[in-house]
Amino acid sequence: MADLSLRNIRKAYSDFEVLHGIDLEIRSGEFIVFVGPSGCGKSTLLRSIAGLETITSGDLVIDGARMNSVAPSKRGISMVFQSYALYPHMTVYENMAFGLRIAGTAKAEIDARVRKAAEILQLDKYLQRQPKALSGGQRQRVAIGRAIVRNPRVFLFDEPLSNLDAALRVATRIEIAKLKQSMPDVTMIYVTHDQVEAMTLADRIVVFKDGRIEQVGTPTDLYRKPANLFVAQFIGSPAMNILKGTVVDRTDTSAGCRLDCGVSLELATASGKLWKGEAISIGIRPENTRIGEGNGTDATFSGAIDLVEHLGEVQILYVDLPGTTEKFLIKVDGESSFARLQDVRFTARLQDIHVFDAEGNVIPVSAGATV
């Protein structure tokens, strides 16, 4: 078991700073997922935890011990990389046992660890095969097995599924979830740019942008209560719809807003929030819309369908709203019948509307809506 503390971690290459003061507490046994767009610093932070990158400043603490200057092999960490990095001339068994042999582990202990890891990963019948005789998903499981046999305190995964096709990604993701269940005391940190992987695997998600943490929380918290516009659009598939608007009136308890698409909203806000003339953004998820008229308190919108995307169980409608340039996406069931250029009215419940100020920070509101 291992608790990790990241305290004001900074990483710079010459004058270019990649990580800007990362503070994060990771509890023993947690499955933490670092997620964010390419180049946001998540893999650099993972490699810094592993000891493959030096930390420019700040402290990495594992179970109370500062690890900045400790060799990677002495940190009790195992890492699974994006590439399998298997020895092609060795069998699965030999690949998994190699690190232990180099460390001088007794032969009987090696055999016991390899066979236990193979059982966990369902690799028992492949132990005498070479990597060329395995599928991509099986090779990645061998790479994971090679990490398991070291009995690490902390597991690090650096985008382990990115080289797999869609079907293998799903299958291997399930294997990783089962692996965590079989090793509840091991702390796992997983890096991905795929928010679906993050949502399905994580106990908590850490969202990165430009070398900084935007928000930390459970998948449900990030989905339902995004802290800002970036997190709101990054978490969820399809992405949250964003509509622009302006505050046109302000009282002590509410703000009257007019969206560019012509819809008016009365937003109950605390004093000091949303001043008259301030630009705002309204966020609505595609799955939080309903075709047809609302109940009188819902926000109601009208537009024309530009594209219908059929996905089997569901359809995605791409709708043009007046006064906007971005398509508004609506998720409907796969049995509904819609056509391009069809006019459509739809609503969003007040509790499903997210409001953001001009800087993109979320504004807690209790909204009422009129057309």
Per-residue burial over 197-220, b = 16 or more CB atoms within 10 Å of its CB, e = otherwise: bbbebbebbbbbbebebbbbbebe
- Out of 76-85, 230-239, 253-262, 299-308, pick the least confident: 76-85
Say yes or no to pLDDT of 1 above 70: no
- Residue 216 CA, chain-centre distance (Å), reads 10
* Whole-number Å distance between alpha carbons of 310 and 323: 27
- Identical fold at 4-234 and 241-370? no
What are the pLDDT digits (tens) for 242-275?
999 999 998 888 888 999 999 998 888 776 788 8
Phi, psi for 205 (deg, rounded to 5): -115, 140
Residue 201: strand, helix, or coil: helix
- pLDDT greater than 70 at residue 127: yes
What is the mean pLDDT of the segment spanning 23-36? 96
pLDDT in tens, 154-191: 999 998 888 788 888 888 888 888 888 888 889 999 99
pLDDT at 302: 94
Q: What is the mean pLDDT of residues 11-38?
A: 95
User: What pLDDT score does 193 carry?
Assistant: 87
For 354-367, the pLDDT digits (tens) are: 999 999 999 987 65
So what's the pLDDT on residue 272? Answer: 72
Q: Are 291 and 335 in contact (CB under 8 A)?
A: no
Question: Mean pLDDT, to the nearest integer, of 47-72?
Answer: 95
Rounded mean pLDDT of 305-327? Answer: 95
- The band of 371, judged by pLDDT with boundaries at 50, 70 and 90, is very low
Q: What is the mean pLDDT of residues 75-83?
A: 87
pLDDT attached to residue 164:
80
Q: Name the residue ranges covered by the structural domains of the chain.
A: 4-234, 241-370
Buried b (16+ CB within 10 A) or exposed e, 232-270: bebbbeeebbbbebebeebeeebbbbebebebbbbbebe
Average pLDDT over residues 97-124: 91
pTM for this model (two decimals):
0.90
> Residue 165 has what pLDDT?
82
For the cut 50, the answer to whether the pLDDT of residue 61 exceeds it is yes
Question: In this predicted structure, what is the pLDDT of residue 366?
Answer: 66
**Average of pLDDT values for 61-86?**
90
Average confidence score pLDDT of the chain? 91
What's the pLDDT score for residue 44? 96
pLDDT band at 112 (very low <50, low <70, confident <90, very high): very high
Q: How confident is the model at residue 97 (pLDDT cuts 50, 70, 90)?
A: very high
198 closest CA partner among 25, 362, 42: 42
Superfamily of domain 241-370: Nucleic acid-binding proteins (2.40.50.140)
Cα distance between the two ends of the chain: 56
- Could you please state the CATH topology (level 3) that the domain comprising 4-234 is classified under: Rossmann fold (3.40.50)
Predicted confidence at residue 295, as pLDDT, reads: 74
For residue 138, the number of C-alpha atoms closer than 13 Å in the C-beta half-sphere is 16
Q: What is the predicted pLDDT for the residue at 19?
A: 97
